[in-house]
Amino acid sequence: MFQWVPWVSVALVTLPMPLVFLALFLASTTTESAAVYFALGLVSLGIGAVIGIVIAVYMLLWKRRWLAKLRDRLAADGITAAELPWFESELSSAERESLSQLNQSNSLLADAYCETLASRLTASRLMARAKSELLKLERRQNRAQEISGADATALIQELNDDRSQMEIMMAEASSRLAEAQTRLQNIEAAASRNLTQTETASMLRRLTSAQEYLPLSLEMARAEGETFDGVAESPSENRSQAE
């Protein structure tokens, strides 16, 4: 629905009035009325196109916000491999290409790659959230230190504890992200290695068969040569017997 509704809305908003004026233009009996209907049709087409484009842009932006909120809800408890298609926009072009190649060549490695991609996305989102929370905590600490006329020691201590926890979370997320990226590289290397070995083995088998069996054209040429030599030797043998 999100894919086709914006563009259908453009057609529904743009075309009805111009079609009405086109029918009136074709049914008009005088030149003046035909010119008026033709002009009104062009004006309504332009206005309808502008309104339709505005509606389409609004719906596309609404779709983008809705999908972002949906992804946030899905990622709240961690991203799974089954939920990965919803996060395709957050994958890099190299990751999308590798996943497509693995789906075509090796389904087992493709499943492992999806699981690792889900872990990588979860770690990346956790790091982004930790960075955002650290910035908020820094601003709160700055405001707490500017408080005068009240004892803000307990508040500052709580904010420091929160910052320490966020830094630990960010370090853990960074470690998990590095592990996921390393695992992705290992899977890509394994897939490339298997594919290269398969192609190499196929080429070697073809070369071996080509060396063991001569092409049919060479066999025919050799047979024709032997037959020609036999025919050429027969007259000379008959001549020697006659002498």
Residue finishing a domain among 25, 56, 77: 77
Query: Do 169 and 142 sit in the same domain of this protein?
Result: yes
**Quick one: pLDDT at residue 222?**
65
Query: Do 125 and 191 sit in the same domain of this protein?
Result: yes
pTM of the complete model beyond 0.75: no
Query: Do 45 and 94 sit in the same domain of this protein?
Result: no
CB 54 within 8 A of CB 9: no
Dump pLDDT digits (tens) for 183-218. 888 888 887 776 555 555 565 566 455 445 545 555
Dump pLDDT digits (tens) for 143-165. 877 776 666 777 778 888 888 88
For 135, the domain range is 78-197
Average pLDDT over residues 17-30: 86
- In angstroms, the CA 15 to CA 9 distance is 10
| Residue 137 vs residues 103, 153, 172, 190: alpha-carbon distances, Å | 43, 15, 19, 43
- In angstroms, the CA 29 to CA 40 distance is 16
- In angstroms, the CA 197 to CA 186 distance is 16
Lowest mean pLDDT among 43-47, 176-180, 192-196: 192-196
Residue finishing a domain among 18, 44, 77: 77
